[in-house]
Amino acid sequence: MTPQGRFISFEGIDGSGKSTQVALLADHLRAQGREVVVTREPGGSPGAEEIRALVLQGAVDRWSAETEILLFTAARRDHLERTIRPALAAGKIVICDRFADSTRMYQGLSRGDLRGAVDALHTLMIGLEPDLTILIDMDPAAGLARAKARQTVEERFEDFGAGLQEAMRAGFLALAQEFAQRFRVIDGGRGVDAVAKDIRDVVAAVL
């Protein structure tokens, strides 16, 4: 079945402003009279939110990268079945704060090269890519400072440190070239309004 809606994902390092911009874009599209579903990963359905607590809390070495690939993909499958596919089938715009590109980066790159395993499991169990992926690119030190200022218990990945954030930034930019057709890169190191305007323009061009 071909989804009739539109699927937009946001990617970028921790603290790059994804959640902030997801909310602003949703407000903007709703003001135009569009039906929008805002969701996030890991999470976005009751079962996937339970898995979220398992993967984002606790010691840095709580799970191996391989186990994480399985947990994130399990959460994504539930999210897809219960939230994303029904919304797309109903013609809605789904805006998702992170999706499979985050697994390609965080599990595929952070502790050795597991990109092949991530992609194989994605093909087998998910098989859906966003129509548009907005990559908010910014300096990792500034992003980490913003993220750390939030003070939550979900800091497992932030605790991997600045080195990981540097690698993730470079990895995301490489991914944007690999999937150039669906990716748009936005400079996130500016004020909230300037970033939001660029995102609105990019989305308008695609919708």
How many binding residues for ligand TYD (CB under 6 A)? 17
Question: Smallest gap, in angstroms, from Cβ of residue 22 to ligand ADP?
Answer: 8
- Residues 131-150 contacting ligand ADP, CB under 6 A: 146-147, 150
Q: How far is the CB of 182 from ligand TYD (least distance, A)?
A: 17
**Near ligand ADP by CB under 6 A: residue from 20, 26, 49, 110:** 20
| Cα distance between residue 155 and residue 167, in whole Å | 18
Q: Which does 80 bind (CB under 5 to 8 A by kind): ligand TYD, ligand ADP, none?
A: none
Report how far residue 188's alpha carbon sits from residue 179's, in angstroms, rounded to the nearest whole number. Answer: 20
Considering only the stretches 15-23, 130-138, 183-191, 199-207, report the one whose residues sit in contact with ligand TYD under the rule CB under 6 A.
Answer: 15-23
Q: Is 102 in the site for ligand TYD (CB under 6 A)?
A: yes
Q: Which is nearer to ligand TYD, 91 or 119 (CB)?
A: 119
- The Cα-based distances of 206 to 6, 7, 20, 134 in angstroms read 9, 11, 21, 11
In order of 22, 89, 110, 165, 201, the CA distances from 26 in angstroms are 6, 19, 31, 27, 14
- Judged by beta carbon distances under 5 to 8 A according to partner kind, the member of ligand TYD, ligand ADP, none in contact with residue 73 is none
Give the span between the Cα atoms of 59 and 38, in whole angstroms: 29
62 binds, among ligand ADP, ligand TYD, none (CB under 5 to 8 A by kind): none
Region near ligand ADP per CB under 6 A, out of 8-16, 30-38, 60-68, 75-83? 8-16
Neighbours of 198 (CB within 10 A): 18
Q: Kindly tell me the sign of the dihedral angle through the C-alpha atoms of 20, 125, 5, 185.
A: positive
Query: What does the alpha-carbon distance between residue 169 and residue 13 come to, in Å, rounded to a whole number?
Result: 6
The reply to whether 74 sits near ligand TYD by the rule CB under 6 A is no
195 is a site residue for ligand ADP (CB under 6 A): yes
| Residue list 119-148, contact with ligand TYD (CB under 6 A) | 147
Residues that bind ligand ADP (CB under 6 A): 12, 14-20, 146-147, 150, 191-192, 195
